Amino acid sequence: MWLFGRSTKKKSQTKKMPKKYTFSHVNDESPEEIAVKQLRSSVKDILKSHQDNDDYLRKWLKARNYDVMEAERMFRNSMAFRKKIGADTLLQKYTPPEVIQKYLTGGFCGFDKDGSPVRVELFGLLDIKGLMYSARKVDLEKTKMLQCEKTVRDWEIMSKKLGKKVGGLTVIFDMAGVTTKWLWKPGLDMYLHLVKVLEDNYPEMMKRLIVINAPSIFPILYKLARPLISDDMKKKIIVLGSNFTQVLLQYVDAEQLPVYLGGKLTDPDGNPRCTTMICQGGQVPESYFLKNHSLGENMTAATVSKKLELKFEVQKSGMILRWEFQTEGYDIGFGVGFLENDGSVKFVLPVERVNSHMVPEDGSINCTEQGTYVLVFDNSFSWARSKKVSYQVEVIEEDKNILEEVENIGYVTDKLEAAHI
């Protein structure tokens, strides 16, 4: 769950101390050293003994561009959140629900060449919609926090074992299998929310994020998440296509890397995907779904007596049309068509009845033609009973600036060399 990192750091790297906290240099202390002292003083009422060290405090300052007041606010908010969910006892007392254990993809599989934990995320196998329908938001938050607590614990273990300070996390972010289904807005919003939770509570944990099997829609996903990617985080991301093994081996020894990624690590039974360490996910069965799950906010409501047609203009080919909707109590017919010059509709997705009253429906298409696309809600099979539908539709346009930025990072899908964002 680490594709995008969040920070409010500004582009300028000049570290200026807020007037409230500025005082004279003593013994030629650097601005950073002064900031650490200022932060320690400002949070001393809640600072715990194991947190009272310069390296730990410096992480909060770096995450807020050495703005002491902002770092203090971030730290206090984090301590309040940790207390709320019981973060200090997650390792001892918390067990994630069964559905999360079985279907939340990813896992730790070893350590990199510096001793930092290595985590593999199988983004393309994650059924975020199924998990959102089957687990409470707080359990998803707690589970991701639990993963971070395990990372902190591993730092301590490896530091003692290697006789040096170990920190950071190397994440291998496998996007194999990612399609336009990942453009489902509630799911993407939840994913980015969890990223925000982690970044707000474990600043500077990410040392390196290696994206592999980057799909053709990577620039679109990058655009949607770009507001969360700081300049500092960009330096930590490497984007690769399908030829990634040699780059991974630059950072992780073969003995610590699963066979399916080009290493030598397997499960005890020889499984090359290390399924005992890395959850493979898959589609969540509806038997896990909780009652009263629904779509997000900002939906438009309508009543369909016989048929409702929604028209959307697509300015050029290559854009993506995505939708989500839910009906109350009963199913409805749904399809997507293209409006021809003679006024007829050529269906791209034929109208079919969907059980959107049981599970919210979502989807998307790549628009291969410029023109008008029509979303059709068909209730003609049940005209005596009107249907209430809530929907949200969006046309995702190309952004030349984002495309140029992605090109500038060296985004590749079939080359060996790595590309740093």
Longest dimension (CA), the chain: 85
Per the structure block, which two tokens stand in for 65? 């561009």
Q: Which fold has domain 19-84?
A: Helicase, Ruva Protein; domain 3 (1.10.8)
Distances from the Cα of 58 to the Cα of 33, 172, 191, 280, angstroms? 9, 26, 27, 36
Read off the tokens for 208.
């390196």
Give the domain ranges of the chain.
19-84, 88-288, 300-396
**What is the pTM assigned to this prediction?**
0.76
Q: How far apart are CA 29 and CA 89, in angstroms?
A: 38
Tens of pLDDT, residue by residue, the chain (421 residues) = 555 454 444 444 444 455 445 444 456 789 999 999 999 999 999 999 999 999 999 999 999 999 999 999 999 999 999 999 999 999 999 999 999 999 999 999 999 999 999 999 999 999 998 999 899 889 999 999 999 999 999 999 999 999 999 999 999 999 999 987 787 878 888 888 898 898 899 999 999 999 999 988 888 888 777 777 777 778 888 999 999 999 999 999 999 999 999 999 999 999 999 999 999 999 999 899 887 655 556 789 999 999 999 999 999 888 889 898 999 888 999 999 999 999 999 999 999 999 888 778 888 898 999 999 999 999 999 878 899 999 989 888 766 565 565 555 544 444 333 443 4
| DSSP classification of residue 64 | T
* Residue recorded with tokens 């079919």: 352
Check if 19-84 and 300-396 are the same fold: no
Name the CATH superfamily housing domain 300-396.
Answer: GOLD domain (2.60.120.680)
For tokens 């005082």, name the residue. 23
In whole angstroms, give the CA distance from residue 334 to residue 336. Answer: 7
Tokens linked to 267: 């499960």
Measured distance CA(74)–CA(69) in Å, rounded: 9
Phi, psi values for residue 16, rounded to 5°: -110, 135
Are the CB atoms for 180 and 323 separated by under 8 Å? no
Cβ-based neighbour number of residue 19 at 10 Å: 6
What architecture is the 88-288 domain classified under in CATH? 3-Layer(aba) Sandwich (3.40)
End-to-end CA distance of the chain: 18
Per DSSP bridges, beta strands 361-366 and 320-327 are antiparallel
212, 240 contact by CB (below 8 A): yes
Nearest C-alpha neighbor of 91 from the set 43, 10, 157, 5: 157
Nearest to 105 by CA among 262, 239, 282: 282
- What pLDDT score does 308 carry? 95
pLDDT of residue 309: 95
Sequence letter at residue 240: L
Listed in sequence order, the residues at least 6 apart from 402 whose beta carbon sits closer than 8 Å to its beta carbon are: 219, 222, 223, 226
Specify the pLDDT at position 405.
Answer: 58
Beta-carbon contacts of residue 43 (< 8 Å; ≥ 6 apart): 72, 75, 76
